[in-house]
């Protein structure tokens, strides 16, 4: 193996990741636990030409989704023109009436987008999910690359890669591009959040202040931070890592203790940038996903470069019929769930489970989508000294400032279970670095 | 780091205090352990009294095992180390990943020592990690204010512990001289009266340790 030395040092790299506290939090039986995120040092390698194709497709997708969000919260032309039924907008849990006619700074809604892709055995890349709210995961390959370079410098001298350690600079540029004048902060729900490592690491690397809601307040339509000497410091951009409903108890969930009262009013008046903008959930709804290729054609007049997994909406009678007839070969997803939850494979259900599920599906057709199971490629991983194949996906990140920028890396997550397609860290998966060859 | 919040100041100060508490109690514990090898009486009771921690231990052996490693006892060394970690983990962007990593490693070292058949040897690693942490604070944190807050916490804690342990006048005097400029430069709110009382108490021929403890606790509330 060409990268033998790198692979030999897998345990040592994992020890270093533990040293730097590269963990994610998880609640089990109502108790918070921090878990290490297992790293596999055999990288996913993406050829340069393949990356160029992905880059083109992801830029196209992010531009279309941003145009969709602007349209939906203003003119709604895509609904008026009959491309997307209005039910899919207004019944989406991510649609927020409060965002109507609110246009974020520079018209950017999704500043940081995470796209979950898989590569099929047919060599084709498929987009499985769009994540336009608070996609996480970039910090893991960032720090892993740094440690891998230390463990095997000759590998990185020999293999010419695009450097992925520019993520913090890209993020800073993205935040600065929409900053209305003032400090930039990363807003975290606190150290018991699953992605707290990432929040604090990105704050350190971008030079932004890591804050909780309790440290910010609104006065005269301006957002402030109180410093230890009592001075009020204006905030110009908030990279929030909390979800829409908890962002502002005065405008959204009144029970939120982690938000900032009236921050949405400041945003609405254009006095602060919120990254990503509130209301984006309508665009990364699993039901809306079906329409993204149509959006690309509608807004950009282009053919989509990247494919969706073949998807059916039981909302449509024709699709419902197909789903019921082909139940055993489909994967069904609850549109309101994330993180690998709410995903069921038709062929794994017992007879009773299937009957119960179909009853639920027919009574709430809007709640589910069905997809053909993509037979995606396995990647090699090192499992107790042996190299074994496992299912893996790729979360690619696109940052939007003056133009979309596709990060030449990404988070490759893999399942450690040989029979599982579920790669999420919360379900016990691990991660790999993603190498993009520079030529 | 241009601005820091009240919460961060609090975490920095307590990070200084807890790291010092772990460091000094580990040192004293090692010395006491060595003494207890040769003695028949239970001198650990005096140790508990001097540090003002409840004597919940059944025997010398119980004390030697549980005082460092029982995380259900709030005054154990491991509990104090957890509190140091709780303060450090929310300060990554302030103190840096490198400095934070030494607190993280001391947690791993403590867990390893608790399983060791030679805990005294393994506990040395925690002291080494804490010394490295303080070295990084000096070497890598550019903000004088941040350095001064951590060190003010550390110096205040050391005087508090030394006074409880009734160390000699010379050692205590040295620590007071190191603590005062840190507090003054930290930018934290402090109690001027208590600070000046300590300056005068330390000049007494016979030290009144109780009064020193009382006043050092009031410097930063």
Contact B127, B27 (CB under 8 A): yes
pTM: 0.92
Contact A227, B3 (CB under 8 A): yes
Distance CA A374, CA A46 (A): 19
Closest residue in B to A214 (Cα) is: B7
Q: Does any CB of chain A come closer than 8 Å to the CB of residue B8?
A: yes
Q: How many CB atoms lie within 10 A of CB A16?
A: 20
Interchain pair B104, A20: CB under 8 A: yes
Interchain pair B93, A200: CB under 8 A: yes
Confidence category of residue A94, pLDDT binned at 50, 70, 90: very high
pLDDT for the residue numbered B1: 53
Nearest-CA neighbor of B187 among B63, B15, B13? Answer: B13
Mean pLDDT score, A154-165: 93
Q: What is the 3-state secondary structure (H, E, C) of chain B?
A: CCCCEHHHHHHHHHHHHHHHHHHHHHHHHHHHHHHHHHCCCCCHHHHHHHHCCCCCCCCHHHHHHHHHHCCCCCCCHHHHHHHHHHHHHCCHHHHCHHHHHHHHHHHHHHHHHHCCCCHHHHHHHHHHHHHHHHHHHHHHCCCHHHHHHHHHHHHHHHHHHHHHCCCCHHHHHHHHHHHHHHHHHHCCCCCHHHHHHHHHHCCCCCCCHHHHHHHHHHCCC
The percent of residues in chain A predicted with pLDDT above 90, rounded, is 83
Q: Does any CB of chain B come closer than 8 Å to the CB of residue A275?
A: no
Integer CA distances (angstroms), B150 to A107, A184, A224, B7, B84, in order: 43, 25, 26, 13, 11
Q: Would you say residue A1 has pLDDT above 60?
A: no
Question: Does the CA dihedral B72-B88-A19-A380 come out positive or negative?
Answer: positive
pLDDT for the residue numbered A426: 66
pLDDT for the residue numbered B211: 96
Size of interface A-B (CB pairs under 8 A): 64
Integer CA distances (angstroms), A161 to A154, A157, A275, in order: 13, 9, 30
Q: Nearest Cβ partner of B3 from A196, A212, A225?
A: A225
Instruction: Return the higher-pLDDT residue of A34 and A21.
Output: A21
Instruction: Provide the residue ranges of all domains of chain B, joining segments of one domain with +.
Output: 1-141, 150-221
Interchain pair B89, A200: CB under 8 A: yes
Q: Nearest Cβ partner of A228 from B9, B104, B105?
A: B9
Residue A8: which region, alpha, beta or left (left: phi > 0; alpha: psi -120 to 50)? alpha
pLDDT for the residue numbered A203: 97
Confidence category of residue A259, pLDDT binned at 50, 70, 90: very high
pLDDT for the residue numbered A335: 84
Interchain pair A203, B8: CB under 8 A: no
pLDDT for the residue numbered A148: 94
Model confidence pLDDT, tens digit, residues A213-232:
999 999 999 999 999 988 99
Closest residue in A to B87 (Cα) is: A191
| Contact residues, chain A, for B188 at CB < 8 Å | 228
Interchain pair B101, A19: CB under 8 A: yes
- β-pairing, A386-400 with A378-383? antiparallel
Confidence category of residue A336, pLDDT binned at 50, 70, 90: confident
pLDDT for the residue numbered A323: 96
**Which ipTM was obtained for this model?**
0.89
Mean pLDDT score, A143-157: 93
Distance CA A305, CA A125 (A): 10
Please identify every stretch of chain B with a pLDDT value under 70, giving residue numbers as ranges. 1, 40-41
pLDDT for the residue numbered B46: 85
Distance from CA of A205 to the nearest CA of B (A): 8
Confidence category of residue A420, pLDDT binned at 50, 70, 90: confident
pLDDT for the residue numbered A229: 87
Closest residue in A to B6 (Cα) is: A228
Distance from CA of A186 to the nearest CA of B (A): 11
Q: Which two tokens stand for residue A305?
A: 């470069």
Instruction: Return the higher-pLDDT residue of A3 and A42.
Output: A42
Q: Would you say residue A291 has pLDDT above 60?
A: yes
Interchain pair A228, B6: CB under 8 A: yes
Interchain pair A18, B104: CB under 8 A: yes
| Contact residues, chain A, for B4 at CB < 8 Å | 227-228
pLDDT for the residue numbered A125: 97
Q: Most A CBs within 10 Å: which of B10, B86, B93, as the mutation test of the A interface?
A: B93
Distance from CA of A19 to the nearest CA of B (A): 5
pLDDT for the residue numbered A423: 74
- β-pairing, A31-36 with A23-28? antiparallel
Model confidence pLDDT, tens digit, residues A3-23:
677 888 899 999 999 999 998
Distance CA B174, CA A16 (A): 38
Q: Does any CB of chain A come closer than 8 Å to the CB of residue B89?
A: yes
Model confidence pLDDT, tens digit, residues A104-120:
999 999 999 999 999 99
Confidence category of residue A135, pLDDT binned at 50, 70, 90: very high
- Name the phi and psi angles at A210, rounded to 5: -90, 125
Domains of chain A: 4-303+376-436 (no CATH), 310-372 (3.30.1490.270)
Mean pLDDT score, A237-248: 97
Confidence category of residue A93, pLDDT binned at 50, 70, 90: confident
The half-sphere exposure of A310 on its side-chain side, counting CA atoms within 13 A, is: 11
Q: Does any CB of chain B come closer than 8 Å to the CB of residue A439?
A: no
Mean pLDDT score, A48-74: 98
Q: Would you say residue A410 has pLDDT above 60?
A: yes
pLDDT for the residue numbered A434: 97
Q: Does any CB of chain A come closer than 8 Å to the CB of residue B136?
A: no
pLDDT for the residue numbered A338: 67
Q: Does any CB of chain B come closer than 8 Å to the CB of residue A59?
A: no
């Amino acid at each position: 193996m060409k990268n033998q030395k790198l692979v030999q040092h897998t345990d040592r790299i994992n020890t270093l990741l533990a040293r730097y506290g590269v963990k994610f939090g998880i609640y089990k039986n109502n108790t918070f636990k921090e878990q290490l995120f297992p790293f596999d040092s055999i990288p996913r390698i993406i050829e340069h030409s393949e990356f160029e194709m992905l880059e083109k497709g992801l830029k196209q997708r992010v531009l279309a989704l941003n145009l969709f969000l602007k349209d939906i919260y203003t003119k709604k032309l895509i609904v008026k023109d009959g491309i997307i039924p209005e039910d899919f907008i207004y019944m989406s849990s991510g649609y927020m009436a409060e965002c109507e006619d609110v246009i974020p700074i520079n018209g950017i809604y999704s500043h940081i987008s995470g796209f979950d892709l898989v590569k099929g055995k047919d060599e084709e890349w498929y987009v499985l999910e769009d994540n336009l709210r608070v996609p996480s995961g970039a910090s893991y390959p960032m720090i892993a690359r740094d440690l891998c370079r230390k463990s095997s410098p000759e590998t990185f001298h020999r293999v010419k890669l695009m450097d992925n350690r520019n993520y913090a600079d890209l993020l800073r540029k993205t935040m600065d591009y929409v900053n209305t004048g003032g400090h930039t902060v990363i807003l975290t729900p606190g150290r018991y959040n699953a992605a707290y490592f990432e929040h604090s690491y990105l704050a350190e690397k971008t030079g932004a202040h890591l804050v909780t809601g309790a440290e910010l307040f609104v006065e005269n339509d301006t957002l402030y931070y109180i410093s230890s000497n009592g001075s009020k410091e204006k905030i110009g951009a908030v990279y929030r890592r909390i979800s829409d409903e908890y962002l502002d108890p005065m405008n959204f969930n009144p029970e939120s203790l982690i938000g900032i009262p009236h921050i949405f009013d400041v945003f609405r008046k254009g006095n602060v940038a919120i990254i990503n903008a509130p209301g984006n959930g309508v665009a990364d709804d699993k039901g809306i996903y079906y329409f993204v290729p149509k959006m690309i054609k509608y807004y950009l007049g282009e053919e989509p470069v990247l494919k969706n997994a073949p998807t059916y909406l039981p909302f449509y009678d024709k699709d419902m019929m197909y789903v019921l007839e082909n139940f055993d070969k489909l994967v069904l997803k609850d549109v309101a769930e994330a993180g690998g939850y709410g995903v069921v494979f038709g062929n794994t259900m017992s007879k009773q489970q299937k009957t119960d599920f179909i009853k639920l599906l027919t009574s709430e057709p809007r709640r589910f989508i069905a997809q053909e199971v993509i037979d995606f490629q396995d990647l090699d991983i090192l499992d107790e000294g042996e190299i074994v194949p496992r299912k893996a996906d790729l979360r690619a990140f696109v940052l939007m400032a003056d133009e979309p920028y596709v990060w030449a890396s990404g988070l490759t997550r893999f399942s450690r279970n040989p029979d599982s397609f579920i790669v999420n860290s919360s379900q016990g998966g691990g991660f790999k670095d993603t190498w993009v060859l520079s030529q | 780091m241009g601005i820091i919040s009240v919460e961060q100041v609090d975490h920095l100060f307590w990070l200084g205090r807890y790291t010092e508490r772990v460091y000094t109690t580990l040192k004293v514990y090692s010395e006491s352990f060595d003494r207890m090898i040769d003695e028949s009486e239970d001198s650990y009771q005096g140790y508990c009294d001097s540090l003002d921690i409840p004597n919940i231990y059944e025997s010398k052996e119980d004390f030697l095992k549980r005082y460092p490693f029982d995380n259900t006892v709030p005054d154990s060394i491991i509990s104090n180390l957890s509190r140091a970690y709780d303060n450090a983990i929310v300060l990554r962007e302030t103190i840096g990943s490198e400095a934070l990593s030494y607190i993280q490693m001391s947690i791993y070292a403590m867990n390893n020592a608790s399983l060791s058949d030679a805990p005294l040897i393994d506990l040395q690693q925690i002291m080494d990690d804490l010394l490295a942490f303080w070295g990084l604070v000096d070497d890598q944190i550019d903000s004088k204010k941040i350095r001064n807050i951590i060190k003010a916490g550390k110096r205040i804690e050391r005087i508090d512990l030394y006074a409880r342990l009734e160390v000699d006048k010379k050692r205590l005097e040295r620590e007071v001289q190191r603590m005062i400029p840190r507090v003054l430069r930290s930018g934290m709110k402090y109690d001027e009266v208590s600070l000046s009382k300590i300056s005068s108490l330390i000049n007494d021929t016979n030290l009144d340790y109780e009064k020193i403890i009382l006043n050092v606790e009031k410097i930063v509330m």
